[in-house]
Amino acid sequence: MSLFSAQTLSHQKGHEISLHSHLQGQLTLVLGGTANIHNDQGWWLATAGSAVWVPPGVRHCASYQEQAEIINLLLDVEAGDKAPGDCCLVMVSALLRELAREASRLEKNDDAQKPIRALVLRQLQGHAVQTELYVPQGEDKRLRAVTGWLRSHPGSTDELAALAERAFTSPRTLARLFEKETGMSFSRWRERLRIVVAIDRLVSGQSIITIALDLGYQSASAFTAVFTRVMGMPPRKYLARLQQPDL
């Protein structure tokens, strides 16, 4: 029996994959570009050197804002396996990257599948991370109406009062829903969303000033200050790290 399948894929800018699920767990490793993975919980941005894990049966879709090179692994997950039970971002070690590449070269039912699968699952246990590149969307339909709209309009400067009208609720209720269901205040959530969108655009080659103004900041310096506070380094340095060939 085949324990997994693995494919090296190249997706063009603007490519989208509609909502679907797998009987197996899916690990999408990004070798170049970015991948946006969306499920009922929220959105993950995977950049080069990272991957997104989607457990078996979880409905998800994907989009690619720029050309991306990925390896997709579908792994059988058994009852005794300690694979993550929720979607998560995974930092890709050199070992995991090489395991994925080797997996993509194997023939179906190759005897090497079993040890590779075991090593991949062990890597998942040790490298799943909480990240600033995840944007929760919440469960309440009023909150989801707002988070979905803002994802499509990340540069909007609308405050809670205007957004609450879109969801047919009060600003106070909307603020409470953000805190309860995303673990963040509205202002922090919007900041997170803008940073994720900004990183995707940085990788695609947009200038800092263009990104800043498109995302509602008054200047490049204002955007850079927020980016540095959230990500621990300024945008250009962050982008340079993503582009290092050993990631």
Residue-wise pLDDT for 165-194, tens only, equals: 999 999 999 999 999 999 999 999 999 999
Mark whether 122 and 151 lie in a shared domain: no
Q: What is the pLDDT of residues 76-97, one digit of tens each?
A: 888 778 888 899 999 999 999 9
- Determine the pLDDT at residue 194: 98
Residue 1 pLDDT > 70: no
Note down the domain range covering 213.
137-242
- Determine the pLDDT at residue 188: 97
Is residue 224 very low, low, confident or very high in pLDDT (cuts 50, 70, 90)? very high
Q: What is the pTM of this model?
A: 0.89
Residue given tokens 């690619």 in the structure block: 64
Is residue 125 very low, low, confident or very high in pLDDT (cuts 50, 70, 90)? confident
Give the end of a domain, one of 68, 97, 129. 129
Mark whether 71 and 156 lie in a shared domain: no
Give the DSSP letter of residue 8. E
Mark whether 117 and 76 lie in a shared domain: yes
Q: Which residues pair with 128 in a beta bridge?
A: 90
Residue 25 pLDDT > 60: yes
b/e for 203-216, b at 16 or more Cβ within 10 A?
A: beeeebeebbebbb
Question: Is residue 218 a part of any domain in this protein?
Answer: yes
* CATH number of 43's domain: 2.60.120.810
Q: Which residues pair with 63 in a beta bridge?
A: 16, 36
CB 2 within 8 A of CB 109: yes
| Number of other residues whose CB lies within 10 A of the CB of residue 36 | 22
- Which of 196 and 115 is assigned the larger pLDDT? 196
Q: What is the mean pLDDT of residues 41-60?
A: 95
Look over the chain and give the mean of its residue pLDDT values, rounded to a whole number: 92
Question: Is residue 247 a part of any domain in this protein?
Answer: no
Q: What is the pLDDT of residues 191-214, one digit of tens each?
A: 999 999 999 999 999 999 999 999
- Determine the pLDDT at residue 78: 83
Mark whether 8 and 118 lie in a shared domain: yes
